[in-house]
Chains A and B, each alone.
Chain A
Amino acid sequence: MLFKYRSLTLPVLCLLMIMNTAQAASEKTSPNKTPPKTVKAVKAATQVFFESYTYPARIEFDTLAQVKTPVEGEVVELKTFLGQQTKRGQILAVIKNTDPLFQYKTARIVAPLDGVVTEILISDRSEVSKDQVIMKVARTDAFTITAEVPAIHLDYFKNYPQGALVLSNQNAKISIKMKGLAPQIDPATGTAQAKFMLSDKAQSKLITPGRLAQVTFKGPEQKGIVIPEIALNYKGKKTLVAVVENKIYSKKEITLGEKRDGQVLITSGLKEGELVVERASGYIPDGATVEIVE
């Protein structure tokens, strides 16, 4: 009897299998019910957007006087040292005239201005000729900042913008103003020399002449909608951003202006106040419902 039972089982088994497969197939077609995805959104807002122009700049003494000997002779006494603060008229050196014609008279070399001795080119007992530069004295309260401005920025500098000086070892910004701009461009470097001075002379003590620094200027301003760069999406060669309106996610095409420091200027396609998706918890299709999170 058993074999009869057995030959019955087989078709039944078969049927079970087929039903199983069918059931599995129907499970697959049923839609996935997953909780809505979350997005982090920012409000599109109009902002001022500008580039900053930065150039290396040299700090130089504004007034650097060369001290010359009026006579030919021998240095009898050097009365100063490098870096000495001087007053106008202070004796810096004594030179004995070696020409018998002048009866070996001594001549006093005096400081031409209030300042500091920046260079000494003679020593005791050294011989000097007439009109030889023997020292340099500079004023310490006025500096010139010289930068080379590339030709492409020249037009902008004709308006004499305000800028700032940044020293490489300091974070402080010292405000500067334009003093002058060379009318011609150096063909070798493609730059024109621009000179700046400190807006506040009291800040002179912060800087050391001869050093290299940076000057920065706010470039031309642009006004427009600015959003974080990570919010951008691409489709083919188009640029899109995702926006959320009434919890519905959709993408719209925009045109890009300049990108700067992780921000990007939108020139068209986005209105002020729209909610732009910055980050999403996954890939979201157009028309999906999403939650906005902080």
Chain B
Amino acid sequence: MKTIYQANFRVYLCFALLALLGIVAGFDLPISLYPNSTRPTVHTGVSYGALQAREFLETYGMAIESNLKALQTKTLKVEKVKAEYNATSADYMVDFAWGADPKEALREVQAIMNAQSSRWPKEIRDSLWVNFWSNTSGFVAISFFSSKRSLDDLYDMLNPEFYPHLQAIPDAQEAVLWNPNYKEIRITLNPEMLALTGLLPNDVEAAVAEGLRAPRGGNIQIEDKGLQIQVPRAINALEDLKRHLIKTPSQKLIPLSDVATIEQTLPSKGEQIFKTNGNKSLILFASPKSGANVKNLGEDILEITKNVMAHMPADIEYRVLVDPSEFIRNSVSNVLQEVFLAAFLAVLVLFLFVGNIQNTITAALEIPLSMVLAFILMKFAGININLISLGGLALSAGMNVDASIVVMENIFAHMERIKHRLTPAEALHLVTESVKEVRGPVIGSTIASLVVFLPLALTKDLTNAVLGDLSMAVVFSHGLSAIVALFLVPTIRLHLLNRRGGLEQLSAPPIARQINWLENTYERLLNLYITKSWPMIAAPMALTVVLASLLYFGLPRLEKEIIGLPDTDWIILGVNAQGMNNVKEMEGQIDEAENELLSKFGDKILYTFVQIHRKDNGNIMARLKDKSDMEEMWKKIESTFTNTPTVRFWVVPWNPAELPIPNPPSLEVSIKGGSPEDRAIVAAEISSGISEKDIFPNVWKEPSTFLPEGVVFTPYTELWPELQRAGATFSTYDLADLTRVATEGKNIGALTQNNQSMGIYMQFPDRYLKTLTDIKALPIKVVQKIIPLMALGHIERKSVAHDIVREDGQEVTKVFGKVKKGTEKEKPARLLQAKNFVNDFNKTFKKDLELTTTPIIAIENAERDITAALQQLYWSVGTSILLIFFVLYLQFGSIVQALIILSAAPIGLVGVLLSLLTFKSTISLNSSLGVILLSGITVANSIMLADLTLRLVAEGHSPGEAALMAAKRRLRPILITSLTTILGMIPVAIGMGEGGKILRPLGLAVSGGLWFSMTFTLFVVPGLEVLTLRRKQKLLAKDEKVEEETELLADEEPAWQ
């Protein structure tokens, strides 16, 4: 110790180098919105082609599901497999456990699906896709337009420039310049010609497929050279396709153009549509890989765009539509501001109490220093700079000066006794002695406030994902602050002492008079408090009652959430519609909604961006002019777009969050067992009951379809032998293929021309089949006759199999309900109503609905993720308090002392609950973390009080005297440390800017709780201390008496010996 303090230059150099390293590390840390922890969900799916849902499920689907569910490697584990089988395709959602590597997860799912696909028919195999698409993942969208050029020209100019760069972006799952004018080759079959020639779509498909093949004709050895014999592909261009010959059943060869029009054109049935305020523009669209850095993605794309556009003609313009990197930058810089403000406020408090600028700086040095040093450790621990870890740094800013203050205070206390100018040896002795005195408490209280984070490190899943970084950041910077306080601060003090000799008069702090008054008042009040015993007993009891009633009445009134979300100016209006046949029809539905949105709220909306992903699902993203309108707009839009039995709207603010924070519905009813039809009936009945009774305004089902109807074609099997005899060559499959091409069309291959691949799509003329009658009359040539399709089978409209949703291999139908924005308070009451309704329904439904099977209805805990996360946290709060208790027990060697000191923690809890209730904040992971953090800080305060009291009693003071003396001496450090922390957290508690909301509950919990607990701890702890010490002394006195009596007795031993 002594050698370290003396070698001031080396200490400074050492810390300066470390600080430099820390700054470098800080700049090197990646910036993201949320911590790195991920919980990947891989989506995969196929189209059945010619199969039906149930058939696909039974032949292939079950194997897919069980293989996906069984996926487990050293680092990966599948938690849930959800499968949706609708009329034409199956989607699988594979949820992995927390911490799984997204890339590996994707690879494994791909491997499984590829292995499975070997069993499937080619058409299904070709439709397989695997990706990470999700509703909430961030993406980048930029539109390009020009008033002088066509989109195709624009695309030809821009794409070659963009393509190589876009492919090289490391964080992108998909990055393409998307031409809405994208062409495909469309073969529109002429139904009349097909019927006259006797061709079926299947024949055309086979002929085209043959023309696209380039067969190999073996090898020939000519003069020692092996030469391959090749037959080139017949179809290499659009014209080739037109001329391609097809053999009719009557053995005639006719060109394809005789039976179809073939053109290169816009796709009629695009899979996805993007629009920007109706602008015809190219769109650069990029989505991140799961767990990738969205900010980097956005910045990379913007840079590429800037570089490319720099050498483009001036008429080509671009507009950034969606850029999450801007959002993340804003949020992060917001929290950074909070960190600085926190540090500034802490320094201000220091100055007010210390008064001397030099001393203020000495102590304040610790704030940036411990933060910068924490960057080094964060670098090693692989923690990003994100809203959460920055929040941790903001929180610890105020706490970090504590250790320095305690050390400095004690040095000053010793300096007050200096009578003459000190020799270097004396100065060294003074500093080492004063450090030695506080070393125990400093290390003890630092460990106490750090040890509380230990259980957090052991939490899993969501809790760890959200709070892991925060607690690590606090542990790093706060732990380092103790080191700085014990090494750097004494060194600086010694340096100053040696230079000035210690006789200088310390300037009085600016609020010296107020502090003195406070000290005197506190002493007087405390004196009053401890003279009689009843207040000392009554106050803790009253606090216990308050705590109990707050826990009982207050806690349930607080809204629960995982974590606050950052503010955003994007709001999504999602539309789920039933009965849409294709993306085009969905576009109409979306357009209608967009028009209404713009006509009602156009003055508040900057621009909109529409995405239509599927025929039943699309969304309108609207960017608000002012993000402070969000709450109001959310409520208004939600009440404007009310659900009807066929269209469901959902409204949610959008931010490019990488963390899959659950946004659960309020109600979840699961219906299992029974037939799919009966489940659908039960679900429909429950959802309409809940809607009719106005229990929840937003109710939806999964699968959403009810009474699905279809056109069923049942071939007359008795005809088939005669048909074959008469020379017909088609099969039932060919007929199904015919109706499929006639209704929805079909992809039959791709033509590669000039290195560009174009899909070949085969269809009937648009709107050729409009009614059931049209399908019945579909002409088919049988030998020489042309007959209607209905002659070959019975065609009728009737209900068909329901969509199937399976979770972990079990078929389940679900009903969900959700409250509207702004009415979350009604949730518990409404949930209770819903539960009563479902319970009543459960008693009678089988008879009322005349079902043949009995589905089992159960109300699930919709918020199980939140409940589980909070439960975990409650356990870690408990464990933390236990740990503090052990630390205290080790330090003081007495259970009673440990309990007295610990009494500060429940007092803090009262403060936390009161401030959360007052400011209408939430119970979230963050506010629970606040409780943990607070227990550490309050206990540190109470250690300082108790430690000194005990020492004074040991020195021979009476308990009351000792308590008063200790209180007076410790008030100032307690005030400084508490106020720096409270004020340091005020910016967090106010929650300014985009990122501010995330940590608001934490700030509120800590600053509110600490304020309350500081005030009460100052009385309750000395009071309890006095009570126990007096009791102990009484007991001791009694013991002495007893001992004396025994001695007396001993003296009166009979004298026979």
Contact = CB atoms under 8 A, between A and B. Distances in A.
A228 B155 CA distance: 47
Interface of B: 191-192, 195-196, 525, 528-529, 535, 538-539, 542-543, 545-546, 549-550, 553-554, 557, 642-645, 681, 684-685, 688, 691-694, 706-707, 716, 719, 722-723, 725-726, 728, 771-774, 776-779, 782-783, 785-788, 790-792, 797, 825-826, 829, 848-851, 914, 917, 1019
Contact of A54 (B557, B645, B726, B774): B774
Contact of A236 (B554, B643, B681, B825): B681
A18 B722 contact: no
Given A236-B681, A261-B771, A148 B849 contact: no
Contacts of A236: 681, 685, 848-851
Given A4-B535, A282-B691, A235 B685 contact: yes
Given A3-B539, A188-B719, A188-B728, A235 B849 contact: yes
Report, nearest first, the 3 A-B pairs whose CB atoms are least far apart: A236-B849, A56-B779, A283-B691
Contacts of A235: 685, 849
Contact of B719 (A148, A168, A190): A190
Interface in A1-39: 1-4, 6-7, 10-11, 13-14, 17-18, 21, 24-25, 28, 32, 34
A168 B191 contact: yes
Contacts of B685: 235-236
A282 B529 CA distance: 64
Contacts of A283: 645, 688, 691-692
A236 B719 CA distance: 38
Nearest to A29: B829
Residue in A57, A148, A189 with the greatest tally of chain B CB atoms within 10 Å: A189
B557 A24 contact: yes
A3 B525 CA distance: 8
Given A51-B773, A150-B790, 14 more contacts: A10-B545, A11-B542, A52-B773, A54-B777, A55-B788, A56-B786, A151-B791, A189-B723, A190-B719, A191-B785, A191-B787, A212-B196, A235-B685, A236-B848
A189 B691 contact: no
Contact of A237 (B681, B776, B786): B681
A24 B774 CA distance: 61
B545 A14 contact: yes
Contact of A148 (B545, B716, B776, B787): B787
B791 A150 contact: yes
A6 B525 CA distance: 12
B535 A7 contact: yes
Contacts of B691: 282-283
Q: How large is the interface on A (under 10, 10 to 19, 20 to 34, 35 or more residues)?
A: 35 or more
A186 B791 CA distance: 11
A55 B554 CA distance: 75
Contacts of B692: 283-285
Interface in A132-151: 148, 150-151
B776 A54 contact: yes
Contact of A187 (B706, B722, B774): B722
Contacts of B554: 17
Given A13-B546, A190-B719, A281 B642 contact: yes
Contacts of A168: 191-192
Nearest to A211: B192
Contacts of A53: 773
15 contacts: A7-B535, A13-B914, A17-B553, A52-B773, A54-B776, A54-B777, A56-B195, A56-B777, A148-B791, A150-B787, A187-B722, A191-B787, A237-B849, A261-B771, A284-B692
Interface of A: 1-4, 6-7, 10-11, 13-14, 17-18, 21, 24-25, 28, 32, 34, 51-58, 148, 150-151, 168, 186-191, 193, 211-212, 214, 216, 234-238, 259-261, 279, 281-285
Contact of B549 (A3, A6, A14, A56): A14
Contacts of B792: 189-190
Contacts of B550: 17
Nearest to B829: A28
Contact of B706 (A7, A28, A234): A234
B791 A190 contact: yes
| Most B-side CB within 10 Å, residue of A32, A212, A234, A285 | A212
B1035 to A, nearest CB: 27
Given A3-B528, A14-B546, A21-B553, A150 B788 contact: yes
Contacts of B826: 28
B782 A188 contact: yes
A56 B773 CA distance: 11
Contacts of B557: 21, 24
A259 B797 contact: yes
A188 B726 contact: yes
Nearest to B917: A17
A283 B772 CA distance: 31
Contacts of A1: 528
Nearest to A286: B692
A158 B898 CA distance: 105
Contacts of A187: 719, 722
Contacts of A279: 644
Nearest to B548: A14
Contacts of B528: 1, 3
A123 to B, nearest CB: 22
Nearest to B677: A237
A18 B557 CA distance: 11
Nearest to A214: B777
A285 B1019 CA distance: 61
A259 B798 CA distance: 10
B434 to A, nearest CB: 34
A100 to B, nearest CB: 42
Contacts of A216: 773
- Which of B554, B774, B790 is most buried by chain A, counting CB atoms within 10 A of its CB? B790
A110 B770 CA distance: 50
B849 A186 contact: no
A221 to B, nearest CB: 16
Contacts of B1019: 3
Nearest to A185: B791
A212 B786 contact: yes
B549 A18 contact: yes
Contacts of A188: 719, 722-723, 725-726, 728, 782-783
Contact of B642 (A11, A260, A282): A282
- Interface hub of B529, B550, B685, B688 (most chain A Cβ within 10 A): B688
B525 A234 contact: no
A294 B881 CA distance: 67
B779 A212 contact: yes
A54 B795 CA distance: 13
Contact of B525 (A2, A193, A211, A284): A2
A150 B786 CA distance: 12
A146 to B, nearest CB: 9
Nearest to A237: B850
A236 B686 CA distance: 11
B849 A3 contact: no
Given A13-B546, A283-B691, A7 B539 contact: yes
A56 to B, nearest CB: 3
A260 B779 CA distance: 21
Nearest to A169: B192
Nearest to A17: B553
Contacts of B681: 234, 236-237
A3 B529 contact: yes
A14 B681 CA distance: 49
Contacts of A3: 525, 528-529, 535, 539, 1019
Nearest to B771: A261
A197 B685 CA distance: 55
A130 B135 CA distance: 82
Contacts of A189: 719, 723, 726, 782, 785, 787, 791-792
A116 B196 CA distance: 23
Contacts of B790: 150
Nearest to A34: B694
A28 to B, nearest CB: 5
